[in-house]
Amino acid sequence: MTDTSPPAPADAQISKIVVGSRNSQLALVQTNHVIGLMEKHYPEKSFDLVSMSTTGDKILDKALPKIGEKSLFTKELETALEAGDVQFVVHSLKDLPTTLPEGLVIGAVLEREDPRDALVMHKDLENNDLDSLPASSVIGTSSLRRKAQLLSKFPHLDVQSIRGNVNTRLRKLDEKNEFSAIILAVAGLNRMGWNPRITKVLHGSEMMYAVGQGALAVECVGDDLKTVQLLSVLHHRETALQVVAERSFLCSLGGGCSAPVGVVSEICNEGKTLVLEGGVWSLDGDQKLTKKLSCNLEKSSEEPPRKKSAPSQQTTFCGIVSPASDIEHYRAAFKLGQDLASALISEGASSIMEEARKANEPS
């Protein structure tokens, strides 16, 4: 949690805004979606898109943890931000580390798409489910989180790494006949219009999803006050509170792509309660720790009034800008993630994660 300067009124004189994106097909669809929303809010402005390849896009012959770098899908975009070449960049939030480079913030979190994972079967096996597949059937995924959960519940399956963009993975499934099925994010398939390929949506009770999965984040320079204010129209409160809790949980665990960590979050009770469930697995799926906690999002009538922040102050939680009017709820979400991590650490989560890290150290 860090303090930065707050947004100032947007300057109507900014007529041209340069937007950064990965150059994958899905990333471009997502970035153009954000640009379309911004054009509706600011019809007097123009938005130019600049795309680029990231380290994660270029290295496709290694599992992500084995590459040995952080910010695999964001570093080049953030460098462009820091250099002033772009005013904001659009990310899949699950790709953003829980600690951002100094000076950068998430100015907006958009309303979340379906955060769950999807099972996509080979066309010859579409009437099957995971538990009915023959022994040693090969399931493709690039995620340690998915692999560990699959091995935990379906030890008869052979889970193998599959890299590449969504369309590349689908093509490998269809053409190479090496995989019986692959696991992908529902959100990506929906955004690409490929949801008919989904054989089954895996509910949270079947497979916990990745921190931030399904949400789009718009990153900018924290002291670029005009851009921060412009982006505020896209911010979705309920999604932001959920992903603050999720990112706080992952950050407090000390996890990343090198350890199998999953979450399920929900705002319920007519918006009064935030529920967060988290899980940690060993790489082989044999060890599993899960726990669920909740926090109250109601305004407390008994709480003494806090001194209002000065106009020059604003707070971020795991990089996400908090509106001053809702800071208590963001604090509650942030603390919920910390509390859940502490509870799992007390039960041995740290040792499970350390073993996973050692096994995935770059060779």
CATH classification at residue 182: 3.40.190.10
User: Mind telling me the catalytic residues?
Assistant: 95
Per-residue pLDDT for 102 more than 50? yes
CA distance 105 to 249: 19
81 and 219 in one domain? Answer: yes
In angstroms, the CA 112 to CA 216 distance is 7
Per-residue pLDDT at 255 exceeds 80: no
152 plus 98 within the same structural domain: no
Q: Mean of the per-residue pLDDT values for the chain?
A: 87
Reply yes or no on whether the pLDDT at 72 is more than 50: no
How many distinct structural domains can be found in the chain? 2
Tokens 């001194």 sit on residue: 307
Same domain? For 106 and 121 the reply is no
pLDDT band for position 257 (cuts 50, 70, 90): low
Judgement on whether residues 236 and 341 belong to the same structural domain of the protein = yes
Q: Which position has the token pair 């073993």?
A: 355
Q: Domain containing 129: what range?
A: 117-202
b/e code 133-155 from CB counts within 10 Å (16+ = b): beeebbbbbbbbbbbbbbbbebe
The pLDDT value given to residue 15:
80
Q: Please report whether residue 70 resides in a domain.
A: yes
